[in-house]
Amino acid sequence: MSNQKVWFITGASKGLGLALAKLVLSNGDKVVATSRRVKELEELISPAAENFLPLNVDITSDEAVRRAIEQSIAHFGKLDIVVNNAGYSLVGSMEEMSDQEFRETLDVNLFGTVNVIRNVMPYLRKQHSGHIINISSNAGYVGFANATSYNAAKFAVVGLSEALAQEVSAFGIKVTLVAPGQFRTNFMEKGSMAYAKNRIEVYGLDKAEATWSSFSGQQIGDPEKLVRILTDVVAMQNPPVRLLLGPDTYHLVKEHRENEAIEFESWKDLTLSTSFD
């Protein structure tokens, strides 16, 4: 099938990544699915499928990502759509987080995305086509207490996506930044969501953990609808650069932007007072 697209999806062993990989395969396209738990992935999707290439990849390693991209190109001949989906949230105040915990969050949520983009760009640029989808979050637009490292990573993904879209448009490459709200995956399950080990009582992390755990399985977002939207977006002639998904995200970000505008205006005199006389 000459019109088959080849997808490269990170974090594909569970959640949105797994749902997307299954949908793409059912649509007749090809999938390179990466995970650090590739055996789990193989159990969920038959590795015998000719359109499916599961790869064990640590996306925090630039060299591992480079090898995975090379292997993908060698296997399928090209890559058309790259979905940077892998990530996790670390809950805790900035004071509670260790240097290692904070950096590990950014390694996965930010630098994993950077490693994939940097290594896939030579191929996309040469073929003069491609679509990069970066999964951020409403936490990429709005700061939340006890989510400082996740906010830092996801805000960065928003910024790099906007800049990347400008850099690569001349090469026929499209970029879409997706900011989902709460979708009913295992993202909040115990073992998926991480918590700072050093707990300081006044920050109430024990209560925060109980609250987040109670949300698991109650999220209003349907992940199957989200992944169907992603497959629709890549078929668009002019897809969005920024795409909010979920009514919770839409209302949250809209209200945040409105409050920002009010604050900016209230301090306008100071803002405009910095030029030379």
Hey, CA dihedral for 209, 211, 216, 221, is it positive or negative?
negative
Q: Return the residue matching tokens 């299954």.
A: 22
39 is catalytic: no
Residue 245 phi/psi, 5-degree rounding, is -125, 120
Express each pLDDT in 127-140 by its tens digit. Answer: 999 999 999 999 99
Q: Which residues pair with 90 in a beta bridge?
A: 194
22 is catalytic: no
Q: What is the pLDDT of residue 218?
A: 64
Q: What is the pLDDT of residue 226?
A: 93
Express each pLDDT in 72-107 by its tens digit. Answer: 999 999 999 999 999 888 989 999 999 999 999 999
Taking 50 as the pLDDT cut, the residues of the chain under it are 1
Given 13, 22, 149, 150, which residue is catalytic? 150
As a CATH number, domain 6-269 is 3.40.50.720
Are the CB atoms for 183 and 135 separated by under 8 Å? no
Quote the tokens at residue 162.
């906007």
- C-alpha 116/C-alpha 65 separation (Å) is 6
Q: What is the pLDDT of residue 276?
A: 92
* Three-state SS at 223: helix
- Cα 221 to Cα 74, 139, 232, 249: the distances in Å are 37, 16, 18, 10
Residue 183 phi/psi, 5-degree rounding, is -115, 150
154 is catalytic: yes
Given 13, 35, 93, 136, which residue is catalytic? 136
